[in-house]
Amino acid sequence: ESGSPLEHVPEFVNTTCPKCQGPARRDTDTMDTFVDSSWYYFRYCDPTNDSAPFDPAVIRQWMPVDQYIGGVEHAVMHLLYTRFWTRLMRDLGLVEFSEPVTRLLTQGMVTNIVPGTNRWLAMSKSLGNGVEPDEMLEIYGADIVRVFILFAASPEAELRWQEEGVEGAARFLRRVHTMVWRWRQAMQNQSRVETTDGLNPRQRELLRKTHQTIHGVTQDIEQRLQFNTAIAKLMELLNAIYDFDATVGGVAATKADHAGLSEAITALVAMLAPFAPHEAEELWEALGHPEGLTQSRWPQYNETLAREDRLEVPVQVNGKLRSHIFLDPDAPQDQYEQAALADEKVQSFIDGKKVVKIIVVPQRLVNVVVK
């Protein structure tokens, strides 16, 4: 039945008015809406259950929430009550965990200059600093506006609306479009590159940049939720593709050049899809893929192809940065020690002193301890 259960408790409903001493009825609507909003996510997991709020077995399958995204204003109200009610249900034996949410992201506000002032405030009709979305979509299209919004600031930061930034997003997508159209015919039926054997330095560098970008963008999207840095990495990869294109030229390009460009451009278009889905789908079709991007695999990271030929390793003396050395990625520890001690800058700081020990963190750091 609808309404409060208290409506069916006469001894609660019927009472005496404390002022006139006459018959009175108590208000049965005593539950704040926060009570419902504090455990709705449990009910979502089992919405048709008519014998209990939810089945604990179903909750074990679906909860806790993997990712919650909401405004910071929720943190001291809704989310506070949410955590309280989850602990209450834990104490009642209905759930087996204390925290309802695994990861929380509080997004920043989109701000704009208030007319007649120098103040950047959240967009508002009353302040007259809003931007009409339909106008932006009409001028630039959804993909460009989306890329700008995601690139202009990290999700949790304030985003200052600046239309010149929208123009920058438009230039980026135009450059992607131009490069795909330039090479789309030569890229048909190219196989994946699995090894750098037989490749020249510039071909290896393009492949390395491609797979470093795949790794970085995947991490930014799936784990860090930093879409602005993911787009920045795509821009860097596009610049690398243009640099490579400038060195090979359309006519002089070899089969290995075509394979490297195919790997890089295909990965770029696929990784562009979350940010500019319409443009990415069009370019994907132009590259000769019969299936849509939503039916295709995300680019696969190859750690071997991403590895640097030479690593730049910082060298410290007693914990203070003094120089850098360059080594093969698989160099043994004694080579780290020898290279550090042979470095001229390091020698100037350890001359006349006793080397107590050398701490080596492979591929990361060398620290020479002296006294």
Give per-residue pLDDT as tens, 139-170.
999 999 999 999 999 999 988 988 888 999 99
| Cα gap 23→15, rounded to integer Å | 6
Q: Are 284 and 180 in contact (CB under 8 A)?
A: no
Residues 333 and 113: their CA atoms lie apart, in Å, by: 56
* pLDDT value at residue 215: 98
pLDDT at 251 over 70: no
Residue 191 — pLDDT band, cuts 50, 70, 90?
low
DSSP secondary structure letters along 139-164: HH-HHHHHHHHHHHS-TTS-EE--HH
pLDDT of residue 60: 95
pLDDT at 73: 76
- Residues 279-326 pLDDT 10s: 999 999 999 998 999 999 999 999 988 988 788 999 999 999 999 999
pLDDT at residue 190, as a whole number: 65
Q: Which CATH architecture has domain 120-305?
A: Orthogonal Bundle (1.10)
Report, as an integer, the average pLDDT of 258-274. Answer: 95
Q: What is the pLDDT of residue 213?
A: 98
pLDDT digits (tens, 9 = 90+) for 86-128: 999 999 999 999 999 999 998 888 899 899 898 888 888 888 8
For 337, half-sphere exposure in the C-beta direction (CA atoms, 13 angstrom radius) is 10
Evaluate if residue 24 carries a pLDDT over 70.
Answer: yes
Asked if residue 217 has pLDDT above 90, the reply is yes
Q: What would the 3-class secondary structure string for 88-132 be?
A: HHHHCCCCCCCCCEEEEEECCCEEEECCCCCCEEECCCCCCCCCC
| pLDDT, position 72 | 79
Specify the pLDDT at position 162: 87
Residue 259 has pLDDT above 90, yes or no: no
Whether domain 311-370 has CATH 3.10.20.590: the reply is yes
What pLDDT, on the 0 to 100 scale, is given for residue 309?
Answer: 79
pLDDT of 253 reads 78
**What is the domain partition of the chain in residue ranges?**
33-106, 120-305, 311-370
pLDDT above 70 covers what percent of the chain?
A: 96
Average pLDDT, the chain: 91
Q: Cβ of 133: how many Cβ atoms within 10 Å?
A: 10
CA distance 242 to 365: 33
- Angstrom distance (rounded) from CA 88 to CA 46: 19
Of 43-52, 139-148, 159-168, 341-350, which range is least confident? 159-168
Q: What is the pTM of this model?
A: 0.75
Q: What does the block give as tokens for 223?
A: 């784990």
- End-to-end CA distance of the chain: give it in Å, rounded: 81
pLDDT at residue 252, as a whole number: 67
Within this chain, domains 120-305 and 311-370 share the same CATH topology: no
Residues shown for the chain? 371
**Mean pLDDT along residues 129-145:** 91
CA atoms within 13 A on the CB side of 110: 15
**Percent of the chain predicted with pLDDT > 90:** 67
